[in-house]
Amino acid sequence: MIYTDTRDSCVRSDFRTAVMNGMNAETGGLYIPVEFPKLDKSFLGKNPEPSFRDIAFESAKPFVGNEIPSDDLQAIIADAYPFSAQVVPVDPVSYVLELFHGPTCAFKDFGARFMARVMSYFNRSESDPLHILVATSGDTGSAVGSAFYNVPGLDVTILYPEGKISPLQEKQLSTFTGNVRSLRVAGTFDDCQKLVKTAFTDSQLRGRFRLSSANSINIARLLPQSFYYTYAALVVKHRSPRDNKIDDPAIIFTVPSGNFGNLTSGLIAREMGAPITGFVAATNANRTVPDWIASGEYRPRPSVATLSNAMDVGAPSNYERIKAIYPLEKVRELFASYWLDDEGTMDAIRSCYSRTGYIIDPHGAVAWHAWDDIRRGAMTRLMGGLAGSPNEPGLTPNVPAWAQRVAGKSAVGVILETAHPAKFGETVKEAIGREPSLPDRLEKVMSLPDMSIPMAADYEAFRAWLVANL
Ligand SMILES: *Cc1c(COP(=O)(O)O)cnc(C)c1O
């Protein structure tokens, strides 16, 4: 596969370059494939559907081309995914797609684990390790640390703001050993980011060490997220006639979004032929994208803090990719958009639990509320011209091409549950009066010793530490 760039469509790059660079430093753009390969119709038509890993392999193959031979790609996928995504019906026309069965209990495990193994593969003939530096405000750091743990040829330094993340998040970051270590910085997330950015522009340091980043804009994190969309769409397509007597359902994915990487991966799956009819772009009060879809004007803004904090993004990095793949009209055909405030999020956790018995985390709750509103009449009202005020939470005034299918009751929803509810136990407890039980792998982490290293928010101190310790 050849990759181009969101800012300069003349750019031509192979997969290795796109992965190892992360972003194109020359243009400031993001890598995208020049075209979307199609999955074989006979493969997609298998009933029962192929396994998650088989879908992963068939989907990844055209994107890596001959840069990773099939046997090596199989091994990468087997090693990356000892777990899978789970489709859980919560009512006859709604399914939750649980994406938290990986080691850190968040969907970022899917992208980070694939990326780590691909980077290790491309680094295999180098004698020096590749040093990954990551600044994190919470979940990204643990997914990246865990994904790279014990992966040959790579080592990882995570910077996080001391005292500014949840105790569970801190445990997940501070208990790594071996090739992954964390620095607890006396400062803010912005200070952490500044230390990392300064290191990347320090030519003397770069002359000495091979440095790389592992951030969410990397194409190797986006592609693997398409695997679970294809898998879930096929599972739902097959079981829908039994669950709800809809033979050929319009399958709508509702995606709780921040940087919109997850939703962009859904577009990739759909372009590859997965039976996906449309999407709901669901955000918290950081509603830059819903506003764009409604008004046609893109206005990035500073982020505001919410209960679904992994979605607190005011300038979503993958907007640039969505815009490069589709014109606005096409986006409006494919997407409904929806935003929800914190009060609505608490209400969603509560009503999801009381109506379905399912305990959902604050991120998934935003998506659950969006789909629940849509299928219970909000879309029909919107089609009748009754749009709410754009400043009130709810469905944004845009009628996608699939709206009729919702009105005609032949649509089913898939709600992406991006984190295990126990990661946000306090919020969940406040909403429903009970704490979700902690999965074993989170409980284990809570009892490990803290290995984090204190660090001043000062570049000279950080640099000296790198030189002495890398
Ligand atoms: C990162 C994250 C999101 C947002 O995903 P994007 O790809 O940035 O849109 C949603 N939920 C959780 C739990 C996350 O960690």
For range 296-320, the mean pLDDT: 93
pLDDT on residue 149: 95
pLDDT on residue 26: 85
pLDDT on residue 183: 97
pLDDT on residue 137: 80
For range 95-105, the mean pLDDT: 97
* Residue 60 three-state SS: helix
- CA of residue 264 to ligand 1 center, whole Å: 12
- CA of residue 40 to ligand 1 center, whole Å: 30
pLDDT on residue 245: 94
* Residue 349 three-state SS: helix
In tens, the pLDDT along 427-437 reads 999 999 999 99
pLDDT on residue 138: 74
- CA of residue 308 to ligand 1 center, whole Å: 9
- CA of residue 383 to ligand 1 center, whole Å: 30
Ligand 1 atom with the shortest distance to the CA of 261: 7
- In angstroms and rounded to an integer, the radius of gyration of the C-alpha atoms of the chain is 22
Buried b or exposed e, range 13-51, using 16+ CB within 10 angstroms: bebbebbbbbbbeeeebbbbbeebbebeeebbeeeebbe
Query: In testing the pocket of ligand 1, which one of 418, 420, 424 has its CB within 8 Å of the most ligand atoms?
Result: 418
Beta strand spans in 242-295 (E): 250-256, 278-283
**Confidence tier at 217 by pLDDT (50, 70, 90):** confident
pLDDT on residue 158: 95
Nearest-angstrom CA–CA distance, 266 and 226: 6
Checking if the pLDDT of 227 tops 80, the result is yes
In tens, the pLDDT along 6-57 reads 999 999 999 999 999 888 888 889 999 999 999 999 999 999 999 999 999 9
pLDDT on residue 165: 86
**Confidence tier at 200 by pLDDT (50, 70, 90):** confident
Checking if the pLDDT of 64 tops 90, the result is yes
- CA of residue 270 to ligand 1 center, whole Å: 20
For range 356-377, the mean pLDDT: 97
* Residue 88 three-state SS: strand
DSSP of 92-133: TTEEEEE---STTSBTHHHHHHHHHHHHHHHTTT-SSPEEEE
For the chain, domains (ranges, CATH) are 86-103+219-432 (3.40.50.1100), 127-209+439-469 (3.40.50.1100)
In tens, the pLDDT along 403-421 reads 999 999 999 999 999 999 9
Ligand 1 atom with the shortest distance to the CA of 225: 7
Q: Ligand 1 pocket by C-beta < 6 Å: which residues?
A: 106, 108, 139, 256-262, 310-311, 363, 418-419
Beta bridge partners of 337: 281
